[in-house]
A = this chain, B = another copy of it.
């Protein structure tokens, strides 16, 4: 018997692979809009709620400022969003769609459906898979919060 877990048996590896596969499927579709998948996620968040702060965007996408800041810089350079320093609290920056950014919603919002149909799964299956993944993610985040540096007993 083999004690070492095999690559193909790992649920984590399946997530890693599935994630890259789906982004690969998005790529040619998003290329025509001049977007990457993370950039598309930012726009989706803003189509839902315009004027989010950088931190709120990071929370929605589960990304930190080190990823979001340059991402927004590129979206701003592309003329799709605008950053405004808040007058109330000068530390905060809100992100707003430009007319071009808002206009992309029409073409952008149908892409997820294309990808969904490519999966060959029913709506119910996709929902169930999504919920299971979110359950997994939640549990993992909870564990991480509980064990800042796990494996070596208690903290000093």
Contact = CB atoms under 8 A, between A and B. Distances in A.
B22 A15 contact: yes
A22 B140 contact: yes
Given A45-B7, A133-B14, A139 B121 contact: yes
With most chain B CB atoms within 10 A of its CB, the pick from A9, A23, A24, A139 is A139
A120 to B, nearest CB: 4
B150 A114 contact: yes
A1 interface: no
Stoichiometry, as copies per complex, reads 2
Contacts of A6: 44, 48
A119 B2 CA distance: 23
A60 to B, nearest CB: 6
Given A11-B129, A14-B130, A139 B151 contact: no
B129 A132 contact: yes
Contacts of A65: none
A149 B11 CA distance: 30
A74 B45 CA distance: 37
Interface string A14-57: 11111111111110110010000100010011011000000000
